[in-house]
Structure 1
Amino acid sequence: MYVMRRIVMKMIKINNTLLFITSVALVLLTSYLIVKVEPETFKGFLDGLWWVLTTVTTVGYGDLSPETLGGRSIAVFLYIFGIGLIGVVIGKVVDAFASFRKKREEGNIVYKGRGHYIIIGWSKKAYYAIQELTQSIPGAEIVIVDELEKAPMLEEHIHYVKGNPTTKETLKRANLDRASAVLIFADETIQDSKLIDGKTLLIATAVESEASHIHTVVEVMEEEHIKNFRHVKVDEFIFSYETISSLAVRSAQTKGIAQVYEQLLRKNHGDDLYQISRRKEWKTYEDAFHALLQEGATLIADGNNLSINRKLKKEIPVDAKLFVICDRDTYKRIK
């Protein structure tokens, strides 16, 4: 037992690649030898391979077994060395999966995908943003960046990178340069809105300095701080306090309007807001408006310009960002 324990301990310390190669070589070699030694029992290489695998994995169906001294010698060799070697390999595979899961939970990973969405700053708003993303874009890859001890969410398409989002190393581990977009949420643990926006600004500055070409959306507490964010060339802003207050007042003045906003913001039911590409045959906004209307969609904006109905005769610029209201099936047809 002492000798076996020493052998197993030495196997554990062997390089993983060498251990794998050795295991494959052992299986293939003994499969070949058993066929050569007992051709009457083992008709071909596949029979030998089947017997070796059932032996070293201790399954032992008993449908094939060696009968000669040479064949049984090979079996004894497999009992002593093969089972131990394969057992170590299986153990290392299990450990590798456990280690990978632990790294995922602790955020000690390097995300290597592309076209993903990075969400910086965990909060309830970030949670709902992920829910909306997964509903709007099935299969979307999402990377959460925060300094939490454990991943707040972990699913097949949701990953966690632990670290300070103002540092280059953390953003690099999230593969910022190949992301589709970055959403930066305000830190709800800070009470002072000025300090909240200050931290958000530091993160936005780090993101823009590393990957200015990536579309960045930032949650801002106070509108007066927008000029600072524009200075670092943030693409879009979400006003947390102002948006909620404005929606509450509009709902009080015009009953039911909150439901209209909710439907346009959520893509899991009813008509929604979608961006479409300009078609070659559309020369003016009027051309696009009437063509889309026939297909069941309503053209409402070009970028942030909502005055489409007042400029129907004007030509559509090449870089136009057209937005329509329609249901998902209509969008799929006109996309």
Structure 2
Amino acid sequence: MAKSNKSMIHWLRWPIHYRITIFVLLIILVFGELISLVEPKEFPTIFDGIWWAVVTVSTVGFGDYVPKTYLGKGIAMIMILAGASFVTAYFATISAAAIKRQNSYAEGAVPFKGNNHVVLIGWNEKANEMIESLHSVKPYKQIVLIDETLKESPLIENVHFIKGNPSNDQTLLKANILEADAAIITADQHKNEQEADMNSIIVLLTLKGMNPNLYCVIEILTELQTKNADRAGADEIIKSYKLTSHFIMSSYLAKNGLSKFYSELNPASGNLFKVLPVTENLIGKTFKEASHELLEKESILIGIKRGEETKVNPPLSYEIRPLDTLIIFTH
């Protein structure tokens, strides 16, 4: 009956630098104790023998302890031949492991272990701008970038790159999607508008399927897919086709450099929009009265959100109710 090779398989599964480390330690301990037994005058204690073994196999060779007998020198020769090769292999494997780890990180193969992070789907100029904005507002917020077109990480501080298909469960598990704070899905710039929207919705369904409580923001390029994104569970739908067209038309109608104003809407500039629940002192007051109070706090009241209805710049007499939320522009 053949013997089980379970122990050998278990041993071989260990990383090679762990196994070499064990061999080196065994050589040092065994030969350190052996030399202290063979030459007790030159090596009074076992620790002296171990010290000699360490400096010898590491090729440092201080010369403070030296074997005098032929037997001691023979033991030293065997240890040098056996130990030096393992020590060299040890440092070589440590270096190789470090380089492999670095390459794996750059290639997006290393799983993310943190939590409360933002998962950003898709790499493009918009994604780059969002990362810069988020770093300005929340400099320590971790971002996990998922993209299957990038060859290597963009190497941005606090950004962990995962290479892979974002609609694949394994890719999302590498991004630790179960402990993420939110996910932002940008439209795939390598596809046409319809295909990009369908791809984004599939990613959204995968995200919500794995983590139903995850706050998801999705960019949609066509009106046709807006309802599907809503059905898929998007918490926020950004209709970039509308935003862009509105900004362009506003710039045309104003004809006075509105693009400079739009750049100030970037959170990185220090100004940002907030949606806040109404406070007790504002309940029952008009839009005009609430605007004056918030203006004293360096906040501009833009509009009122009431259920599914949003009123931007409502009439001055518009009364604020208990369940309303305020849309403000602040810094």
TM-score by length of 1: 0.74
The change in CA–CA distance for 1:66 and 1:324 in structure 2 (over 3 A counts) is: farther
Residue in 2 that maps onto 1:85: 86
1:179 — aligned with what? Answer: 180
Q: Secondary structure at the match of 1:200?
A: helix
- What's 1:201 paired with? 201
Spell out the pairing of 1:224-303 with structure 2 (5 A cutoff). 224-254=224-254, 255-267=256-268, 269=269, 271-273=270-272, 275=274, 282-284=280-282, 293-300=295-302
The 3 A distance-change label for structure 1 pair 278 and 186 is closer
Secondary structure in 2 aligned to 1:264?
coil
Aligned to 1:108: 109
Q: AA paired with 1:235?
A: D
**Structure 1 segments unaligned to the other structure (5+ residues):** 1-11, 327-335
Partner deviation per Cα, 1:19-73 (whole Å, 9 max, x = no partner):
333333444555566678567778994x766654443333x26363425337655
Task: Tell me, yes or no, if the aligned pair for 2:265 and 2:271 is still in contact at 8 Å.
Answer: yes
**Structure 2 counterpart SS, 1:87:** helix
1:68 paired with 2:73, answer no
Q: Secondary structure at the match of 1:68?
A: coil
Shift of 1:181: 1.4
How far the C-alpha of 1:214 sits from its partner, in A, is: 1.0
Cα deviation, 1:187-244, whole Å, max 9, x if unaligned, reads 22223x2222122222222222222211111111123421111111101122223222
C-alpha distance in 2 between matches for 1:291 and 1:113? 41
**Equivalent position amino acid for 1:93 in 2:** I
Q: 8 Å contact 2:118–2:142 — kept in the other structure?
A: yes
Describe the SS at the equivalent of 2:217. strand
Q: Tell me, in whole angstroms, the C-alpha distance in 2 between the residues paired with 1:26 and 1:55.
A: 11
- Paired residues of 1:277 and 1:322 also in contact (CA < 8 A): yes
- In 2, the alpha carbon distance for the partners of 1:102 and 1:227 equals 42
- C-alpha distance in 1 between matches for 2:13 and 2:247: 64
Cα 1:15–1:275 change in 2 (3 A) is same
Aligned mate of 1:325, from 323, 326, 330: 330
Q: Secondary structure at the match of 1:233?
A: coil
State the alpha-carbon separation in 1 of the partners of residues 123 and 180 from structure 2.
Answer: 18
Rate the CA distance shift 1:66–1:114 in 2: closer, same or farther, 3 A. Answer: same
Which range is displaced more, 105-114 or 205-214? 105-114
Q: CA–CA distance in 2 between the matches of 1:14 and 1:229?
A: 45
Confirm or deny: 8 A CA contact 1:34 1:42 kept in the other structure.
no
The match for 1:157 is: 158
Q: Distance in 2 between matches of 1:312 and 1:63?
A: 91
Q: For residues 42 and 311 of structure 1, what CA distance do their matches in structure 2 show?
A: 96
Partner of 2:145, secondary structure, is strand
Cα distance change, pair 266–107 in 1 and its aligned pair in 2 (3 A): same
| Change over 3 Å in CA distance of 1:187–1:300 after alignment to 2 | same
- Contact kept, 8 Å, 2:113 with 2:176, in 1: the verdict is yes
The change in CA–CA distance for 1:110 and 1:167 in structure 2 (over 3 A counts) is: same
Shift in Å at residue 325 of structure 1? 0.5
Paired position in structure 2 for 1:120: 121
Per the alignment, do residues 184 and 67 of structure 1 end up closer, same or farther by CA in structure 2, a change over 3 Å counting? same
Q: Is the 8 A contact 1:31 1:48 kept in 2?
A: yes
Offset, 1:274: 5.4
Aligned residue pairs total: 308
CA RMSD after TM alignment: 3.8
Contact 1:184 1:219 in 2 (8 A): yes
Distance across 2 between alignment mates of 1:313 and 1:162 = 51
Q: TM-score normalized by structure 2?
A: 0.75
Flag the structure with larger Rg.
Answer: 2
CA displacement 1:87-115 (0-9 Å, x = unmatched): 22222222222222332333333322212
Could you give the per-residue CA deviations for residues 132-151 of structure 1, whole angstroms, max 9, x where no partner exists? 33333223322222222622
**Aligned-partner residue type, residue 68 of structure 2:** T
